[in-house]
Amino acid sequence: MFTHIFANAGVPPLWLSVAALGIAVVSYCLGCFNGSVVVSKYILRDDVRAHGSGNAGLTNFYRIFGGPLTLAVILSDVLKAVLALLFAAFIAGKLSPELVVLSKYWAGTFCLLGHMYPCTFQFRGGKGILSGGAIVWMIDWRIGLVAWVLFLVLVILTRYVSLGSVAAAASFPVTSAVIYRDGLITLFGVFLGGLVIWKHRANIARLVKGTESRFTLHKKKPAGSVRTDPADKPGGSPSEKPADTPAADGREGKQ
Of the candidates 203, 206, 207, the residue with the CA atom closest to the CA atom of residue 254: 203
CA angle, 183 then 189 then 192, to 5°: 145
Q: What is the pLDDT of residues 27-51, one digit of tens each?
A: 999 999 988 888 888 888 888 888 8
Considering only CA atoms, give the Rg of the chain.
Answer: 19
Question: What is the arithmetic mean of pLDDT over 131-148?
Answer: 95
Q: How far is residue 36 from each of residues 77, 95, 177, 229, 241, measured CA to CA in Å? A: 9, 36, 33, 18, 25
> How would residue 218 be classed by pLDDT, with cut points 50, 70 and 90?
low
Q: What is the pLDDT of residues 179-211, one digit of tens each?
A: 999 999 999 999 999 999 999 999 999 999 999
Q: How far is CA 72 from the centre of its chain?
A: 16
Q: How far is residue 129 from each of residues 50, 82, 197, measured CA to CA in Å? A: 21, 14, 10
How many residues are present in the chain? 255
Instruction: Tell me the whole-structure pTM to 2 decimals.
Output: 0.78
SS3 assignment, position 27: helix
